[in-house]
Structure 1
Amino acid sequence: MTHTTHTAPLTLPDGLCSADASVTNPDCARSREFMWVTPDGQITMQAPADEDTAREHTEPAGLLTVAQQTLTYDEGLGAYRTARIETDMRDVDSISSDAENARTPLFSAEMVVADQAELWVGYGSTVGEVSPGKAREIAATMRAFADRLEALCDVADGISAADHQARG
């Protein structure tokens, strides 16, 4: 996978606005979300520190690194993408070896922009391309599942303890 800096005049995909476009494009002027072109040609959601037009733009408060918020042109893909976010927990595929699982995050995601912004959400080695709205549904479902998984662990702990006492 090759990540390169885009040095030609930059045209953002439909639906994305730069700070300069907000002056001439009424749709962009109404938008609170801007893509900023950095001096080295990358696209980022972070406004320059001295930029007054950042207005009400909110940052993901430490949850994402700059690379995870910055679109970089990938020549091999022919699209812009962010650095991937992933879990520290590695894959638990019982068919794969421990070494294979160690190379694969349990969950991952990145933003890819070709014609429109979408998220590539991965679970193990499987990746799905979804809209931001669908990714939010996935996140909500994962939160609800995590609570139920924790409850199931409590049940398993209780059964394990009873099993141990019965054998003891």
Structure 2
Amino acid sequence: MTHSTHTAPLTLPDGLCSADASVTNPDCARSREFMWVTPDGQITMQAPADEDTAREHTEPAGLLTEAQTTLTYDEGLDAHRTARIETDMRDVDSISSDAENARTALFSAELVVADRAEIWFGYGTTIGEVSPGKAREIAAAMRDFADRMEALCDVADGIAAADYETRD
């Protein structure tokens, strides 16, 4: 099995399993398959055997706030979660009003830990629960899509300049 070690550790609240606790606590032993904290305070996530996309991953400095790397308990959800990250760009749903779209990020994500660590990825008002490995696949697909969308905009600009008006 592969491990993904985050060098910018998440802060785990009391009661969430550490490497030491997983040895003596049966509940922690079960969650140890997915996440534990090493004695030096690093969080380690162990991917399921079928998840080949897990890899060594270091968080670039300054991209996440402390709240976005600190797990806090959400009583209503009965799980631990980080603060959400989201785009400044708001949703562009043509069925919703401008005011409704203004309340919703185009993309958002947060780490939620109940039985295992998952990324809750939001696109508009839709939210999908995915593994960290799948979230990395989504991020790679978004980067590829962004490049192709930019190229499509260039084509549209060329056509608009020749024959049509563009809409901002």
Residue number among 15, 19, 30 corresponding to 1:10 in the alignment: 15
The residue type equivalent to 1:157 in the other structure is D
- The structure showing larger relative contact order (alpha-carbon pairs under 8 Å, at least 6 residues apart) is 2
The higher radius of gyration belongs to: 1
What stretches of structure 1 of length at least 5 have no aligned partner? 1-5, 23-28, 36-56
The residue type equivalent to 2:64 in the other structure is L
- Per-residue CA deviation, residues 14-55 of structure 1 (Å, 9 max, x unaligned), is 133235xx4xxxxxx9x95359xxxxxxxxxxxxxxxxxxxx
User: Which residue pairs with 1:127 in the alignment?
Assistant: 127
User: Which residue pairs with 1:105 in the alignment?
Assistant: 105
Coordinate RMSD, CA, aligned: 2.6
Tell me the TM-score normalized by structure 2.
0.69
User: Which residue pairs with 2:137 in the alignment?
Assistant: 137
Q: CA deviation at 1:80?
A: 0.2
Correspondences of 1:1-168 after superposition (within 5 Å)? 10-12=15-17, 14-15=31-32, 16-19=35-38, 22=39, 33=43, 59-164=59-164
Provide the C-alpha distance between the structure 1 equivalents of 2:76 and 2:65, rounded to a whole number of angstroms. 23
Q: CA deviation at 1:10?
A: 1.5
Aligned length: 129
Provide the C-alpha distance between the structure 1 equivalents of 2:149 and 2:58, rounded to a whole number of angstroms. 32
- Per-residue CA deviation, residues 62-91 of structure 1 (Å, 9 max, x unaligned), is 000000000000000000000000000000
Provide the C-alpha distance between the structure 1 equivalents of 2:85 and 2:15, rounded to a whole number of angstroms. 26
Change (3 A) 1:58 1:136: closer
Q: CA deviation at 1:116?
A: 0.7
What stretches of structure 2 of length at least 5 have no aligned partner? 1-11, 18-27, 46-56
Percent of aligned pairs with the same residue? 72
Q: CA deviation at 1:163?
A: 0.9
